[in-house]
Structure 1
Amino acid sequence: MVNIRDLDPSASPLDYYGYELRRLREAAGLKQQQLGDIIFCTASLIGQVETTKKVPTRDFSERLDAALGTDWHFSRLVGLVLRSQLPSWFQAYAEMEVRATHISSFQPQLVYGLLQTEAYARAVLQAGWGEKLDEAVAARMERQRILQRERPPLVWVVLDEAVLHRPFGGREIMREQLDRLLEFQFRREVGIQILPFSAGQHPATVGAFNVLRFDGDPDIVYAESYGSAHVTANPETVGDCAHRYDHLQAAALSVEDSAALIARVREERYGDHARPDGRAVA
């Protein structure tokens, strides 16, 4: 078992968080049980966070700040902690995603991570056999906070129609996820288009990719392969992917027609009248 006195606060964001929690709790003259009573959790949970056995959530951190009067110290720190729980090969991209002013994404398999519900994200991550599932889900939800900023990035997503039909997590989870996609049609900074099956061949058969734009920095392209990621600012590659993305948008349905298709699939495959296997009742 980790001895809190042996923790090196410089070892990782999680170690620093645990170190700071114990330091500030003791400075307030509170035992773990006393603090737990104040923020409605167990002394065991306080101890697990202090010894890095448990990754804190944002809600936990906000309650800590309120109880200890720490001026949003833990609420700021938890973002670093959760980002550190992302796969090491993804962390650099996550940092760039935070700074991007424009994000263009093509997704042929899954709903883009920034648009996923928590239940859908859990089903996707579970299907990928990832370890530390709760931490991975929390980290993905943390990424979505960029959409809640006062000046969020402009996000445009093209989803292959297959994404709507692939039932991650079952009918209820998919219905909730498609509802979430429909909610984005009322947000000016988010655009969603569906590339329909009828579009046939298209210029992005190699798979998913994102193009990120920044203020004052070169554009980048991000693409994944199994267990790794490829990020490049090579002008030729960025220009080629941007050109392909233009063609994808041209082949995709309009935002309005895309919303209509999402709503139709939601009712036919995942509505109350759909069969348990997800097919519509004739």
Structure 2
Amino acid sequence: MVNIRSLDPSASPLDYYGSELRRLREDSGLSQADLGAIVFCTGSLVGQIETARKVPSREFSERIDAALMTGGFFTRLVGLVLRSQLPSWFQEYAEMEAKAAYISTYQCQLVYGLLQTPEYARAVLSIDYSADRLDEMVAARAERQRILERTQPPVLWVVLDEAVLHREIGGREVMRAQLEHLRAFASEPWVKVQVLPFEVGEHAGVAGSFTVLRFDKDPDIFYSESYDSGHMTANPQVIRERFVGYSRLQATAYSVEESAELIARVMEERYGHGAVA
């Protein structure tokens, strides 16, 4: 059955995407099944996206642009659609993160979102999202990571608590791939990863994970979050204190080179094929 649900294009980026897809498809004289055949999917999927019941992927958008000759319209729009799937309390931070010139973050529980593999992200997100939402949320996280693929990406400096390396998320194979992914950034000039070892004891990050964003022209921002909310501030005193704290974390952590060696060692000893479960 053809989906004919009416949409308010102004309701959300997803509704706008769906209404424009329907309009341009109909202008081309194509049925949902016709367009689906052209872009290698079912007509039902086209209908679900047109009625905002399904979130489009970047690959789908690229194929739609080619099929309808829209000059990259949907490929540009899908980024906004995917970001809109992020939790409402997190969206403002994601927008600021995408504009930052420098990102400095300390993470005590998990690998920072920009450096997560799809499998690791899926395991993390499965805690809070049902199976029918997981693909969308993983795609939204991958879209967020695209800022690292820019010609001039932000400088990203990550300090990870050593516990992050040992906390098994998604199983041994997922963790092995995640640590290999982290280790690969050792040769990336714009991304630096340091590990804060267990033996440090008390340190400037004991209160929890936090991030400081720096911009070329706008004030710096400090960000931290709780279970279901985020907190951002540009208070100069808070920024000053957190920068001092972050500098202390960097000084206490292993060097980038030592950290890469530790990551490789944990990867083999804890998650290697010969490791004892």
TM norm. shorter chain > 0.5:
yes
Deviation at 1:2, TM superposition (A): 11
Structure 1 Cα separation of the partners of residues 123 and 211 of structure 2? 22
Aligned pairs for 1:112-123 (under 5 A) are 112-123=112-123
**Larger deviation, residues 131-140 vs 243-252:** 131-140
Aligned pairs for 1:1-282 (under 5 A) are 4=4, 6-127=6-127, 129-131=128-130, 132-275=133-276, 277=277
Deviation at 1:29, TM superposition (A): 1.4
Structure 2 Cα separation of the partners of residues 250 and 24 of structure 1? 56
Gaps of 5+ in 2: none
- Specify the alignment match of 1:280 in structure 2: none
Contact preservation (8 Å) 1:221, 1:231: yes
Distance 1:112 1:81, change over 3 A: same
Q: Number of matched residues?
A: 275
Deviation at 1:6, TM superposition (A): 2.1
SS of aligned partner of 1:212: strand
Q: Normalization by structure 1: what TM-score? A: 0.95
Structure 2 Cα separation of the partners of residues 119 and 28 of structure 1? 38
Deviation at 1:31, TM superposition (A): 1.1
Q: Normalization by structure 2: what TM-score? A: 0.97
Structure 2 Cα separation of the partners of residues 232 and 130 of structure 1? 28
SS of aligned partner of 1:89: helix
Residues 111-136 of structure 1 show CA distances to partners (whole Å, capped at 9, x for unaligned) of: 00000000000001112x23422221
Contact preservation (8 Å) 2:6, 2:51: no
SS of aligned partner of 1:230: strand
SS of aligned partner of 1:169: coil
Residues 8-35 of structure 1 show CA distances to partners (whole Å, capped at 9, x for unaligned) of: 1011000000001111111111111111
Gaps of 5+ in 1: 278-282
Residues 176-195 of structure 1 show CA distances to partners (whole Å, capped at 9, x for unaligned) of: 10111011111100000000
Residues 192-213 of structure 1 show CA distances to partners (whole Å, capped at 9, x for unaligned) of: 0000112121111110000000
Q: Aligned partner of 1:144: which letter?
A: Q
Q: Aligned partner of 2:236: which letter?
A: P
Residues 190-237 of structure 1 show CA distances to partners (whole Å, capped at 9, x for unaligned) of: 000000112121111110000000111000000001210100000000
Structure 2 Cα separation of the partners of residues 16 and 177 of structure 1? 35
Structure 1 Cα separation of the partners of residues 42 and 141 of structure 2? 25
Q: Aligned partner of 1:33: which letter?
A: A
RMSD: 1.3
Q: Aligned partner of 2:64: which letter?
A: L
Contact preservation (8 Å) 1:4, 1:19: no
Residues 86-106 of structure 1 show CA distances to partners (whole Å, capped at 9, x for unaligned) of: 000000001101110000000
Distance 1:84 1:2, change over 3 A: farther
Contact preservation (8 Å) 1:109, 1:162: yes
Contact preservation (8 Å) 2:210, 2:224: yes
Structure 1 Cα separation of the partners of residues 115 and 5 of structure 2? 41
* Percent identity of equivalent pairs: 65
**Larger deviation, residues 255-264 vs 5-14:** 5-14
Q: Aligned partner of 2:103: which letter?
A: I
